[in-house]
Amino acid sequence: MEAWSRLESGKGKTIGLVPTMGFFHEGHLSLMRMAKGLADRVVVSLFVNPTQFGPGEDLATYPTSFAQDQESAAANGAAILFAPTAEAMYPPGSRTTVVVSGLTDTLCGASRPGHFTGVTTVVSKLFHLVRPDLAVFGQKDFQQLAVIRRMCLDLNMGIEIIGHPIVREADGLAMSSRNSYLTGSQRESALCLSRALKLARQLAAGGERSASRLADACRGLITSYPEATVDYISFVHQATLKDVSTVDRNTVLALAVKIGDKVRLIDNGYVRRPVSSYLESSDEPC
């Protein structure tokens, strides 16, 4: 991987990276196509990173479709599908981790201790191996995108981090590899996330600015669906991820909901149309 990147860079080619854990859906493919439009060569990494999974999470059962992923990556602009083993990425004796403080102790960081240390460590390693000029991440993992931006800035990595708007199914469900876990009835219940976002926006458009009252309304909607349990409902500033009490054009609603016993889904979106977006989108991410 390193040798290929050095060769391409030596030819004056720009390299774009799309980090993934595989089992590609249209959301992944849209990231690849965006990268292809911005860089001369696109590398798609496929690595189910063990260090970002906690005890009892779905590392052992995470869905895979390697042969299909190979075909899809090639058809959507990838020059390289980089699929290292866990042993190659974390050889015996590995001791170093990358920690971004401040942005990782709330939202998914509070629910999944150690998760973001796993994310930032593996992304840092991928950046060093692939040597990209830019990397494209989906905005569905809103907190992850903010954390990766902070890491690159703080460590002077010189890589442009680009956020791609959330890609949704026709009924509004944010695309996710974990959607494959849902039963038919659970699939209907999973719509509570996007519908809660819609409700918050409707209430805000009607003049409601209290984050706590909006959260109560969202909670009531979500819990009305069978098998839906709220992990968090948070109204945060788009850049700092700090909770806000009053929503404005910098406010993002971040949601995590457990559907049934096994499936945890996330979603997010601006509550009011932003004047400008820290996520570099000219419109709402969903």
Secondary structure of residue 151 in the 3-state scheme: helix
The reply to whether 28 belongs to the active site is: yes
Q: Name the one residue in this structure whose structure tokens are 């977006």.
A: 277
Alpha-carbon span 137 to 248, nearest angstrom: 25
Is-contact 168 195, C-beta < 8 A? no
Catalytic-role residue among 25, 28, 128, 164? 28
Is-contact 235 271, C-beta < 8 A? yes
For 85-96, letters b (16+ CB in 10 Å) and e give eeeebbeeeeee
Q: Beta-carbon neighbour count of residue 208 at 10 Å?
A: 15
Is-contact 26 175, C-beta < 8 A? yes
The token pair at 198 is: 């819609």
The token pair at 79 is: 């020059």
Q: List, by residue number, the catalytic residues.
A: 28
